[in-house]
Amino acid sequence: MDDFPQATEAAIARWFGVAPPNDPGRRMAADLVHTIAAFEKLRGTMVFEDEPSSFESALQATKETAP
């Protein structure tokens, strides 16, 4: 992970043409290691959805009925 910040900046530059705007931006990009760790912890905990637009149906399924 030592080269993670440099690799991340290079990937962003290549894919989007966006340069690091400032030092806090560099630090926050480097902090993506925590995002990766959080996603790693979730691996295997849920199966992939067959119906990707189910959030709206979940709102309906779980909604308030009679207050």
Partner 1 sequence: MTALANLSLTDAAEAVRTGQATSRELLDACWANLEKANPTLNATIWLDREGAEAAAKAADQAVADKKPLGKLHGVPMAHKDMYYQAGKLSTAGSALRRDWRPTITCTAVSRMANEGAYVFGGLNMAEFAQNPTGHNKTYGDCHNPWNPPRITGGSSSGSGAAVAARMTYAALGSDTGGSIRLPAAACGVTGIKPTQTRVSRYGAMPLSFTHDNVGPLARTARDCARIMSVIAGHDPMDPTSAHEPVPDYEAALTGDLRGLRIGVPTTFFLDNADAPVLAAMDEALAVLAARGATVTRMTLPLMDAVAAYGGIVSRVEAATIHAQWMRDDPQAYGQHISSRMYPGYAIPAPYYVESLSRRGPILRAFAAEVFSRVDVLVTPTIPTCIPTLAETDIDHGPPGTEYKFLAVSINTRPFNYLGLPAVSVNCGLDPNGCPIGLQIAGRPFAEARILAAADAYQRDTDWHIRRPPVLG
Q: Is 29 left (phi over 0), alpha (psi -120 to 50) or beta?
A: alpha
User: Is position 6 an interface residue for partner 1 (rule: CB under 8 A)?
Assistant: no
Minimum distance between the CB of residue 13 and partner 1, rounded to whole angstroms?
Answer: 9
What distance in Å separates the CA atoms of residue 65 and residue 67, rounded to the nearest whole number? 6
What distance in Å separates the CA atoms of residue 54 and residue 67, rounded to the nearest whole number? 25
User: Is position 57 an interface residue for partner 1 (rule: CB under 8 A)?
Assistant: yes
From residue 32 to residue 51, the character string flagging contacts with partner 1 as x (rule: CB under 8 A) and all else as - is x--x--xx-xx--xx-xx--
CA atoms within 13 A on the CB side of 26: 9
Q: Which residues bind partner 1 (CB under 8 A)?
A: 8, 11-12, 15-25, 27-29, 31-32, 35, 38-39, 41-42, 45-46, 48-49, 52, 54-64, 67
